[in-house]
Chains A and B, each alone.
Chain A
């Protein structure tokens, strides 16, 4: 990213992503208009659905929890110069680990089960990221292709296990039995209620807090440790990294394993916090939302949390939208997601120069007005 002149930080980190999101939403609004609905009505319903009630806010933050985990996973790999498209599969296998612990020890005390489930989720996700990373590091297989293939393989693996092994006996749909009481993430409205604050019921649970803690941990890891420093150097300039004595293989494997472990966090929110059983395709595309969230959040934990809440709102508002406007379904959110990735990720610099020129012009105008 060589730039002749830099924008002020507030514009670079705040204004530019918002402009990008605005353009993506405007294009999506065009699609809504083509479908014969009013974009204004759609936006109003969307915002009201996502942020207009306590229940809506609860759902928004519940979705956002998934996206914080997957967004952080994408960002850690991206900082090391790797594009991890396999977060979806890593979240799937990591979630499988979470679910297996919950099924096996669900009757035990939560303080025992929940840390164990966290560990299993991280291990599952990390394992599913380790093999593509190892293949990239040692065999030169392109990590983008292998992680895509591992998404398909994860889907086949979990489907097989659910249909043939884990299915609750005497049941048609491939789902496990419900987890025991020890393997439930406490819901946020219960926690708040215990503290005397009334909040509407929703699947929002304390995994949200874990996701925020993960965001802080990623910040420390990337910007305050030797590992993170090595990864960032390798991500910015692989050749310089080698001359600095940083082994590329260790960067690839280390960053991917952490990335996969973060992806495994999704199972804590989705399975322990909401579904309370393992079911088909529980990540539901959150791994791909993570790409959009990471790019919009500029691969920084603070940006990722903000972008995840925005996307959580899009998901919750989008669900509301499909109730009220039958011609629009939740796939519309996937369209917006694709547009955000295109504009923030591939066209990231398109508004950079115009914005810079505009700020210069304003700055000069203000100076001449006061002086």
Chain B
């Protein structure tokens, strides 16, 4: 019984940690399947986190915060597009630049607007945050642990944005595999010249892919600042954008395997967090730094395990020049 409760709680924590990773990874999937490396994920997450927390703090509405988060992330995606699509700049450098710039801009604007040392005010008013949605009879169901607790803790009681993220996995899969837009988007990541020959604009397709990535990163950043925590703090993404990118690569740029990779990262994180301060057999109490480093170490190991067998989009990272 004890173990059962523990597992349920662990899985619920996994879902909460996985949500921003998954949203960002799915966003990166649209961008990268269209042939543009999305190293700006981290910056877009951070920008959206700041914008959503700031707007929610000022207006008192988490929904307006979400709107601001999405607008900010799309704006950043358009800057990357201007550099990488219009001016055929280096995509890795552009993503890095955006990430660094946002990392400085958030605390700068935060300090000037709120005077709290670069943070945004604590979001504690009603409606300032996205909170858990409790499903009907969840409290009653707890009295019958199996399967009641599963229902109460895992299915019910998650954040609205968690459900949105879960829903987006099949939706993204359907868009990429079934719709005309999705097929063209994948074609532009494999062979942009063929797409151009068919009379379709490579530039416009790639811009749209980047904007979709912006929207999803906007939701992910908003989740971090207004659902998982109550406000923006400096560097609060802590590499989640990069982990999402690693999950995308490990998931071979496909929605379901990417979901699996995100859940794996999140489960490691949740498990490690739970083991904090607990004496484990053989190793004893794990130092907190080891726990914090675990997802990053796992990323390195997983990517090394792929050993070059990647199904990356063929035109990924190559700027498209029309006149060739």
1/0 per position for A125-169, CB-CB distance to B under 8 A? 000000000010001111011101110110011011001100000
Residue pair B103, A145 in contact (C-beta under 8 Å): no
Closest to A327 in B: B112
Residue from the list A135, A139, A337 in contact with B104, Cβ < 8 A:
A337
Residue pair A332, B108 in contact (C-beta under 8 Å): yes
| Residues of chain A lying within 8 A (CB to CB) of residue B92 | 83, 144
Residue pair B289, A159 in contact (C-beta under 8 Å): yes
Chain A contact surface mostly: helix
Residue from the list B90, B101, B118 in contact with A335, Cβ < 8 A:
B101
B290 on the interface (CB 8 Å rule)?
yes
User: Contacts A83-B92, A152-B293, A337-B100 known; A142 to B105 CB distance under 8 Å?
Assistant: no
A334 on the interface (CB 8 Å rule)?
yes
1/0 per position for A309-353, CB-CB distance to B under 8 A? 000000000000000000111011111111101100111111000
CB distance from B84 to the nearest CB of A (A): 7
User: Contacts A153-B297, A329-B118, A347-B83 known; A342 to B101 CB distance under 8 Å?
Assistant: yes
B111 on the interface (CB 8 Å rule)?
yes
| Residues of chain B lying within 8 A (CB to CB) of residue A145 | 242, 245-246, 249, 299, 303
Residue from the list B96, B101, B105, B308 in contact with A139, Cβ < 8 A:
B308
Closest to A135 in B: B304
What is the bound-complex CA distance between A150 and B246, given in angstroms? Answer: 13
CB distance from A252 to the nearest CB of B (A): 13
A288 on the interface (CB 8 Å rule)?
yes
| Residues of chain B lying within 8 A (CB to CB) of residue A233 | none
Residue pair B79, A342 in contact (C-beta under 8 Å): yes
User: Contacts A144-B39, A160-B289, A328-B108 known; A149 to B296 CB distance under 8 Å?
Assistant: yes
Residue pair B289, A157 in contact (C-beta under 8 Å): yes
Residue from the list B83, B91, B249, B293 in contact with A142, Cβ < 8 A:
B249
CB distance from B235 to the nearest CB of A (A): 11
| Residues of chain B lying within 8 A (CB to CB) of residue A135 | 300, 303-304
Tell me how many residues of A have a C-beta within 8 Å of chain B.
48
CB distance from B133 to the nearest CB of A (A): 33
Chain A residues 219 to 269 lying within 8 A of chain B, measured CB to CB, are: none
Residue pair A140, B104 in contact (C-beta under 8 Å): no
- The number of inter-chain residue pairs (CB within 8 angstroms) is 153
Tell me how many residues of B have a C-beta within 8 Å of chain A.
50
| Residues of chain A lying within 8 A (CB to CB) of residue B300 | 135, 141, 146, 149-150, 153
B274 on the interface (CB 8 Å rule)?
no
What is the bound-complex CA distance between A223 and B293, given in angstroms? Answer: 39
| Residues of chain B lying within 8 A (CB to CB) of residue A34 | 109
A36 on the interface (CB 8 Å rule)?
yes
1/0 per position for B85-129, CB-CB distance to A under 8 A? 001011111101111111111011101100000100000000000
What is the bound-complex CA distance between A148 and B242, given in angstroms? Answer: 8
Closest to A350 in B: B87
CB distance from A17 to the nearest CB of B (A): 15
B307 on the interface (CB 8 Å rule)?
yes
| Residues of chain B lying within 8 A (CB to CB) of residue A83 | 92-93, 96
What is the bound-complex CA distance between A153 and B291, given in angstroms? Answer: 11
A85 on the interface (CB 8 Å rule)?
yes
Closest to A341 in B: B97
Chain B contact surface mostly: helix
B136 on the interface (CB 8 Å rule)?
no
Residue pair B289, A338 in contact (C-beta under 8 Å): no
Give the interface centre of A150, A157, A295, A334 by most chain B CB atoms within 10 Å: A334
| Residues of chain A lying within 8 A (CB to CB) of residue B5 | none
Residue pair A334, B103 in contact (C-beta under 8 Å): yes
Residue from the list B112, B242, B293 in contact with A153, Cβ < 8 A:
B293
A217 on the interface (CB 8 Å rule)?
no
Chain A residues 24 to 83 lying within 8 A of chain B, measured CB to CB, are: 31, 34-36, 83
Residue pair A152, B105 in contact (C-beta under 8 Å): no
What is the bound-complex CA distance between A144 and B79, given in angstroms? Answer: 21
User: Contacts A83-B93, A146-B300 known; A346 to B108 CB distance under 8 Å?
Assistant: no
Give the interface centre of A139, A141, A291 by most chain B CB atoms within 10 Å: A141
1/0 per position for B279-299, CB-CB distance to A under 8 A? 000000001011011001101
B306 on the interface (CB 8 Å rule)?
yes
| Residues of chain B lying within 8 A (CB to CB) of residue A349 | 87, 89
CB distance from B107 to the nearest CB of A (A): 4
User: Contacts A144-B39, A145-B249, A152-B293 known; A329 to B107 CB distance under 8 Å?
Assistant: yes
CB distance from A20 to the nearest CB of B (A): 12
Closest to B308 in A: A140
| Residues of chain B lying within 8 A (CB to CB) of residue A148 | 239, 242
Give the interface centre of A139, A156, A163 by most chain B CB atoms within 10 Å: A156
Residue pair A152, B239 in contact (C-beta under 8 Å): yes
Residue from the list A35, A141, A341 in contact with B96, Cβ < 8 A:
A341
What is the bound-complex CA distance between A291 and B310, given in angstroms? Answer: 28
Residue pair A327, B111 in contact (C-beta under 8 Å): yes
Instruction: In the A-B complex, list the 3 residue pairs whose CB atoms are closest, starting with the nearest.
Output: A338-B101, A334-B104, A140-B308
With A140-B308, A160-B289 given, can you name 17 additional A-B contacts, CB distance below 8 Å? A35-B108, A83-B92, A145-B246, A145-B299, A149-B299, A288-B100, A327-B112, A328-B111, A331-B105, A331-B108, A339-B97, A341-B93, A341-B97, A341-B100, A345-B89, A345-B96, A346-B93
